[in-house]
Amino acid sequence: MRWIMHVDMDAFFASCEQAINPKLKGKPIGVMADPYGRGKKRSVIAAASYEAKRKGVKAGMPPKEAFNLCPDLILVQAHPSFYGYVHNQMLKYARSISSEVENYSIDEFFMTYYGKDPDKVGEEIRRYVKKQFGITCSVGIAPGKILAKMATEEGKPDGLTWWKPQAIPSVYKYLPVSAIPGIGSRREALLNKNGIYTLEDLALTPKPIIKNLMGILGEYYQKIAQGIDETPLITQEPPLKSITRSVTLDASTLSPLVVEAVGRLLCDSLGKGLEEINSRAKELFIFLRYDDMSAESTGMKLEFYTNDPDVIFHNFKMLNKELRPYKQGVRLVGVGMTDIRQHYTPSLFYQEKPNPLKPVVEKIRQRYGYDSIIPANLLLAEPYTSIIAE
């Protein structure tokens, strides 16, 4: 039989930070991209540990509000490079098990499994995550994609839930309609107002009533409530047309050196992003947004396709000179590349010189985070931005 497995990392960003620093385990933490302002700048809580969530702390919450709910909250610097490393390793592991894997988000993926004991595979995945990264994940197994995601939610955190077809009706007797992804508080309130509270209620309601209440989506939600899930896995990612990185500064600046320092960070992130998908690009552009929200941009075509951060940054500096002097304070810096080619074959007439330090630097960053080893000019960016390269 064909099963769909959904793997979701538990409180992913926060769990990664607790794995990096074991002293944080069991404590309420809020992950932020603001290591210098400690919550006094524009940054908000990006993720919260389960200990913090139990006290009401949520992603997107301003630090002041979070501290009101959880006075012992510990703010922690984000390390997106480590999150990306874990994500990529997990995808490699999943693809070693299944030829059909959907990269759903940075902390979750779907995969198919054909066999009698998918729960054993699910347990192997959970053991691998714990041993390899020191974090936990939850696994949902069901006949369909959306059903598997719903099953995962039932077993969170650190659980495995297997919904066999014959067992789904009994589970649906108590699950609220909001268990279906896409049915938020407004739709739930509308259904509740009409006496539809559980998935069993939704499954048994006459179709014309559901269509009248929810329109064309009603049929889709009702099928899910009846255990009919035909949602396909998207295993082929569309070709990438462009890749960008940008950041809003914590304080506006007129200094070209500060813009270059921020650009260095963004170019590192851009090059890493291209390298991770085995791609290179040839057209580079930069853009700046000023205090009055107006923007300027400029671009150029490079001589060769590249994903080398040093090459990208060298050309970033040239483009930055074209936009100087800045007409106002710069509040946002961005860089991007188009004309992307995957599985690129280098030119016979140009060979990039490998940087012997790169493997060592990458190894350090994978273990301790991007900002554990940085170019000296990035120190200029500290008072202006708390971004960490992804």
Residues known to be catalytic: 108
Distance CA 58, CA 133 (A): 24
Count other C-beta atoms under 10 Å from residue 95's C-beta.
15
Distance CA 282, CA 300 (A): 9
Token pair in block for residue 363: 């190894």
Where do we find the tokens 């649906």? Answer: 172
The string of DSSP codes covering 261-283 is: HHHHHHHHHHHHHHHHTTEEEEE
- The DSSP element (H or E) to which 300 belongs, if any, is strand 295-306
Does residue 390 contact residue 35 with C-beta atoms inside 8 Å? no
Chain centre distance of CA 96: 22
The string of DSSP codes covering 149-203 is: HHHHHHH-SS-EEE--GGGHHHHHTT-BGGGSTT--HHHHHHHHHTT--BHHHHH
- Contacts for 93 with CB less than 8 Å, ≥ 6 apart: 125, 128
Buried b (16+ CB within 10 A) or exposed e, 229-245: bebebeeeeeebeebeb
The string of DSSP codes covering 49-90 is: -HHHHTTT--TT--HHHHHHH-TT-EEEE--HHHHHHHHHHH
Distance CA 120, CA 233 (A): 22
Token pair in block for residue 223: 């099928």
Q: What is the DSSP letter of 386?
A: -
